[in-house]
Chain A
Amino acid sequence: MTKKNKIIELKNICKEFDGTLAVDNFNLYVRKGEFVTFLGPSGCGKTTTLRLIAGFEMPTSGVILLNGEDISKLPPYERPVNTVFQRYALFTHMDVYDNIAFGLKLKKIKETYVDKKGVEKERYRKYTNEEIDEKVKKALKIVDLEEFEWRDVSTLSGGQQQRIAIARAIVNEPQILLLDEPLGALDLKMRKEMQEELKAMHKKLGITFIYVTHDQEEALAMSDTIVVMKDGVIQQIGTPEDIYNEPANAFVADFIGESNIYSATMVGDKLVRFLNHNFVCVDEFENNKKVDVVIRPEDIVLGDAGCGMVDGKLVSKTFKGVHYEYIMMVGRNEVVIQTTDNFEINRVASISIDPFNIHIMEKEFTVNRYVDAWIDKNNNVVISEEPFECDITQLIPGSHIDDEGYLVDSLGVRYDLTDADVIAEIDLKDIEVIDNSEDGTIAGEIVSIIYKGDHYQIIVRTEEDEDFVIDTEYTWNEFDKVSIKVDPKKIKLTLKAEVKEYVKD
């Protein structure tokens, strides 16, 4: 892509609010005329990023380039971008005309004129009333609300107010139009209608659109490019097709559309094992590597028992209008299947999957790793401000702890490990989740849940902002307040420094 084509570029943008990172090292460029959507769950930093572009927030670090010029320090009223807000933010004390004309009345335009001596000069002037009139009428026509000029804003319906908000923004001919969940407050039917209209408007006006939403369907339907975000970090950038067919990780696969996600192992060249079967696939990974596999429910072919690759029992069937949705149990794993074919449930059937429809991803989490753990004076390992009675003799093979609390190795050398920095690793299965915040060792909140066929992978975030990834069979809900319990004996420890640095005397 040539540099000329980039209208806006965000480089290494970070935004911190009171010590928490809302946007973490955000890098993106948008081409002129593109329709880009920031997609993610609430609190993922998508709105903050939009506000950084609009100028309502200043980045903690990084630069924003508009047509190659740094605008990161410019106030919003000097940026050639306009915003459509989620709750419209119309000026209720003005009528429709004054709302739309507000920006035009403030704008100064450059014009060249010939002075008395015949020299061509430049000057700034305001729009004349006739010009404003014409532009307001044109904007109202674009949003299909002609003849509404003199209506009081408060007499309009939600959809009409939204259209006025759009007209108010596009009348200024911004280089980029920012839309912050503009359809969030509308009902479903209205939303679908406005989606189509916004798309048509984007085509007609040729303005670059940056759109924020948490609705994946909306993002898939409208965008040229989708930026999937989570916890202030970009997860994937791509076309709707890319994002849907080739999700970068389990989070994206789970967030966009419905999917079956399984933990799998590569067992040979283009051969992956899950659901107790070796499937042929098209992605190459090294042998014996643990991976995540994603299969869309509509990509699974359901057939009679024995005819497919794997047999299982159909346990549930739901009519969804266009198709049926079945749930099949293969061993302890659930498989969700969408097909138009009618099958009887509570019977054994089979499934087969085309190699092209098996999407393999690197595992995001294989183990919980805490690099800033340390050993306190009682020989406990402190993780996330909480002491654990770990077996620290594992740090020095063949050692034991003497009466004074020093570690003694087989040769009788004493080590003082107080304040030693260690790396602690806890397996995903070795953490137990408890229903209330008191009974476990560390309290936290569930921030993410992904279903992986026969278990859930959940992430518990503690008050110290430490994340624990846990594989569990039990169902939890997002934002549940829980606590976690770890068997200290199962924590693997590694010293950060050389052992000899801790030799006593």
Chain B
Amino acid sequence: MVKKIFAKVFIYFMLLLMYAPIILLIIFSFVDFDYIDFRQLFNGDVINLNLYKELFTGEDGEVVVQAFKNTLLIAIVSAIVSTILGTFAAIGMFYSKKRMRKLYELGGQIPILNPEIITALSLTILFVFVGIQFNFFTLLIGHVVLTIPFVVLSILPKLKQMDNNIYEAALDLGAKPSKALRSIIIPQILPGILSGFILAVTLSLDDYIITAFTRNNSFVTLSTYVYGVTSKRGAIPPTLRALTAIIVVVTLIVLLVINFTSGKKDNKRGKRI
């Protein structure tokens, strides 16, 4: 019994440690004082949406709106590209010979362990070497390189779970390889493709390092904007509290969507005998 209580207390303590800063941030995003002081909260009616208003209408308002748009644009475009490429890469890896497959899988995983700064630097050197101007295209390549291993990693287990003979069954029933791929393999691994896509979106959304190295300087995303204002002015502008609160909520929604889709899938398998 004591053990159980201890275990619970420990878990809640850990969660509190992890989430206290975020909760604090969200609370203070509704308080428009320049500096943060808990006593302010008890000074009557201080809760308001002023910071949110100022974020979009203040002197940086236009930049922030543009940054939101840019961030979403690059996240979605790069996620679509890396999901398509990653899906075919995973299928190709899965159906290659056993020894090659191990090699490919290892090759696909190294970029995940590799520090991001190395990927960013090497990409920059590559672009300079080839002589490409930094533009949306270079940024797109950067984000695709960043997210593709994760897409592959979320699809491969789905392929491994699949009945070995399912592709052969489709061929056996008269489907050409392309038809078998479209109507059997892709639908079978769709949950993996979807979670790979969502993972790619979230990774791209909050990426700073690769974005900073591969973007054209006029292309502002949320992460580069936040880094820019904090490094320029010394004190953290209060509007950032509203901005980060929005990002947290968006991330939370995405996370719930992921859990919801994978939870449904598990239920389905649970019913199987």
Contact = CB atoms under 8 A, between A and B. Distances in A.
Given A76-B172, A77-B171, A102-B170, A88 B163 contact: yes
A273 to B, nearest CB: 52
Interface in B160-181: 163-166, 168-176, 179
A5 interface: no
Contact of A77 (B172, B183, B268, B272): B172
B175 A77 contact: yes
Contacts of A172: 173-174
A-B pairs, top 9 by smallest CB distance, nearest first, are A103-B173, A89-B165, A89-B169, A106-B174, A76-B171, A85-B165, A93-B187, A154-B272, A83-B172
Contacts of A81: 172
Contacts of B273: 156-158
Contacts of B173: 77, 82, 102-103, 106, 168-169, 172
Interface in B175-229: 175-176, 179, 183-184, 187-188, 190
B174 A77 contact: yes
A287 to B, nearest CB: 55
A54 B172 contact: yes
Given A93-B190, A102-B175, A107-B174, 6 more contacts: A77-B171, A85-B168, A89-B166, A89-B169, A90-B163, A169-B172
7 contacts: A77-B171, A83-B169, A89-B168, A93-B187, A93-B190, A106-B175, A107-B174
A87 interface: yes
Residue from A87, A93, A157, A169 whose CB has the most chain B CB atoms within 10 Å = A93
Interface in A141-180: 154-158, 168-169, 172
Contacts of B176: 77
Interface string A87-107: 111111100000000110011
A56 interface: yes
Contact of B163 (A56, A82, A89, A154): A89
Interface string B227-268: 000000000000000000000000000000000000000001
Interface string A235-253: 0000000000000000000
Nearest to B162: A92
Q: How large is the interface on A (under 10, 10 to 19, 20 to 34, 35 or more residues)?
A: 20 to 34
Nearest to B268: A154
Contacts of B172: 54-56, 76-77, 81-83, 169
Q: How large is the interface on B (under 10, 10 to 19, 20 to 34, 35 or more residues)?
A: 20 to 34
Given A89-B163, A91-B184, A106-B179, A56 B168 contact: yes
Contacts of B268: 154
B165 A76 contact: no
A92 B189 CA distance: 11
A213 to B, nearest CB: 17
Contacts of A155: 271
A75 B174 CA distance: 10
Contacts of A76: 168, 171-172
Given A93-B187, A157-B273, A158-B273, A103 B174 contact: yes
Interface of B: 163-166, 168-176, 179, 183-184, 187-188, 190, 268-269, 271-273
Nearest to B163: A89
Contacts of A55: 171-172
B260 to A, nearest CB: 19
A410 to B, nearest CB: 58
Contacts of B183: 102
Contact of A87 (B163, B184, B269, B271): B163
A83 B269 CA distance: 25
A19 to B, nearest CB: 14
B194 to A, nearest CB: 13
Contacts of A56: 168, 171-172
Nearest to A156: B273
Contacts of A154: 268-269, 271-272
Contacts of B163: 85, 87-90
Nearest to B169: A89
A168 B190 CA distance: 23
B174 to A, nearest CB: 4
Contacts of A92: 188
Given A82-B173, A157-B273, A91 B168 contact: no
Nearest to B270: A154
A465 to B, nearest CB: 20
A31 to B, nearest CB: 23
Nearest to A94: B187
Nearest to B189: A93
B239 to A, nearest CB: 47
Contacts of B271: 154-155
Nearest to A86: B165
B169 A85 contact: yes
A34 to B, nearest CB: 21
Interface in A51-88: 54-56, 75-77, 81-83, 85-88
